Each structure stands twice: as structure tokens, then as C-alpha cells.
Amino acid sequence: MQSEPSPFAGFADQLKLDRRAVRLRELAYQAIKQAILSGAIDSSAPLIEERLGLMLQISRTPVREALAILEHEGLIEALPYKGIFVKVVTVESFLKMYEALETVEAALARQAALRADAADLAAMEHSLGRAERCVPHDIPGHLAACRMFQRQLGACAHNPYLADFLVGIEERADLYLISTWHTLPADKMRAAIHDRRVILAAVQARDPEAAAQAAEAHAQAARQRWRALFSSAL
């Protein structure tokens, strides 16, 4: 009996190629993003596809796709007749971001207190330990560990949409700190960790209202700390 021709003939081979393309795009995306958020890329230098492809040893196509994602996330911007650059974040935008964090982080903390399990709590504790070990000299490492805490908070809240929004705001806020401040006061770094430990304690206690209040207080206090730091530098 002759088999019926498949409507998906050739699809398997194409799928293999597509998966490889996705992997390369993801690798390029993660590598460029990490370089941006670690301060390794000069914000005054254009991001050139060909040059990035040579450094990553891949073709320009996955680099172009990765840059499109990063532009959508607000970490880079295309300037007419100039090229693509790391986005410049202003002080005003930075402080507005922390206003948004108050509401979003509080909602996630409230949900996390109801849903977190032992593994979630251990992961968040580990991230805060990493953040502490980075004080005072490793600013990008400290900020990355704090962002990981936020992502884990969102994961145990079982709300990936709010979590992605929260981490996206944190990344853009951190971009300002990394591009503008080569050093940060150790007391402000430790204060950020302390605030998150209060959030974690409320989540561990299964107290959603206390967790939400701690998250709101953290965002408000952080905004005040940064505003004071920026004012003192003027």
C-alpha cells in the first residue's frame, strides 16, 4: 500500500536549521546583553553587526536579530545617520522606573508569599548571598545578583508576565548605574540587600501583606537613596 504523501515533507530538515538559527540568535542575544549590563561596551561606540559577528564568531544574521530584541527591550537604540548604540538613560527616567517598581514588585511579593516553596526560598537566599559577596567592588555582579533575586521572586509568584516586566525595568535602571557610576557607596549596596532580606523574610513567613509592604518600602527607599546620591554629585 502506497503511503500518503506527508504535508510536512522537508519540514524536519528545515526545523533543524531553524533550531540552529534560534540557538545562535539566543547566544548572540545573551552575550551582547551581558556585555551591555556589565559595562563592557562603551555607550559612545556604535554596535556594528559585522564587528560583533566577528567577535562572537557567527554570521551577521543572528547578531542582527539579537540587536532587534535588545532594541525592543530598551537597552539599545538606533540613532538616525549614526548607528546603533547602548541606550542613554537619564536621571529622570531612572527615578520614574523606581516609581513603577513600587507597584509591580509589591504585587509579585504578595503572590510569592502565597506560592513560594522551599526551593524558591533557597534560590532567593543564594542570590542575596552572591550580592553580598560582590560588595563593594563588583558593581555589575551585585546588580546582576539583585536582578536574579527579582526574577526568582517572579518565578515563585507564578506570574511570568509581571516578572519579565519587573526585570526589564531593573535592567534599564541598572544600565544607568553601570554607564554613569564607576563606583557605588557600599552602604547603599548593603541597604539594597537588607531591603530584599526583609521581603524574603515576609515571603518565608507566608505573610502576603507584609511582603507587599516590604517591597513597596524597598522601592521607595531605593529611590530616595539614589536621589540623594545624584544630588550630592551635582
pLDDT tens track for 107-166: 999 999 999 999 999 999 999 999 999 999 999 999 999 999 999 999 999 988 999 999
222 part of a folded domain? yes
149 part of a folded domain? yes
Identify residue 161 by its one-letter amino acid code. Y
- Do 23 and 129 lie in one domain? The reply is no
- Do 161 and 81 lie in one domain? The reply is no
The Cβ of residue 125 has, within 10 Å, a number of other Cβ atoms equal to 15
2 part of a folded domain? no
Given 27, 52, 86, which residue is the final one in a domain? 86
166 part of a folded domain? yes
3 part of a folded domain? no
Pick from 10, 192, 206, 11: nearest CA to 109: 206
Residue with the larger pLDDT of the pair 22 and 176? 176
SS (H, E, C) 112-150: HHHHCCHHHHHHHHHHHHHHHHHCCCCHHHHHHHHHHHH
- Do 76 and 97 lie in one domain? The reply is no
pLDDT digit string (tens) for 75-92? 999 999 999 999 999 999
Q: How far apart are CA 43 and CA 221, in angstroms?
A: 29
| 185 cis-preceded (ω within 30 degrees of 0) | no
Q: What is the pLDDT of residue 21?
A: 76
Q: What is the pLDDT of residue 196?
A: 98
Q: What is the pLDDT of residue 231?
A: 84
Residue with the larger pLDDT of the pair 192 and 18? 192
Containing structural domain, residue 219: 91-233
What is the chain's alpha carbon radius of gyration, rounded to the nearest angstrom?
Answer: 21
Given 86, 105, 137, which residue is the final one in a domain? 86
- Do 32 and 98 lie in one domain? The reply is no
> Residue 173 is part of a domain; what is its CATH number?
1.20.120.530
Dihedral sign for Cα 230, 101, 85, 59, please. positive
pLDDT digit string (tens) for 91-105? 999 999 999 998 999
The Cβ of residue 233 has, within 10 Å, a number of other Cβ atoms equal to 9
| 136 cis-preceded (ω within 30 degrees of 0) | yes
Identify residue 8 by its one-letter amino acid code. F
110 part of a folded domain? yes
- Do 164 and 223 lie in one domain? The reply is yes
Given 24, 56, 86, which residue is the final one in a domain? 86
Pick from 101, 85, 129, 114: nearest CA to 204: 114
Looking at the structure of the chain, the number of domains it has is 2
4 part of a folded domain? no
Contact between 208 and 113 under an 8 Å Cβ cutoff? The reply is yes
Q: Which residue has the cell 552572591?
A: 130
- Do 70 and 123 lie in one domain? The reply is no
pLDDT digit string (tens) for 158-186? 988 999 999 999 999 999 999 887 788 99
119 part of a folded domain? yes
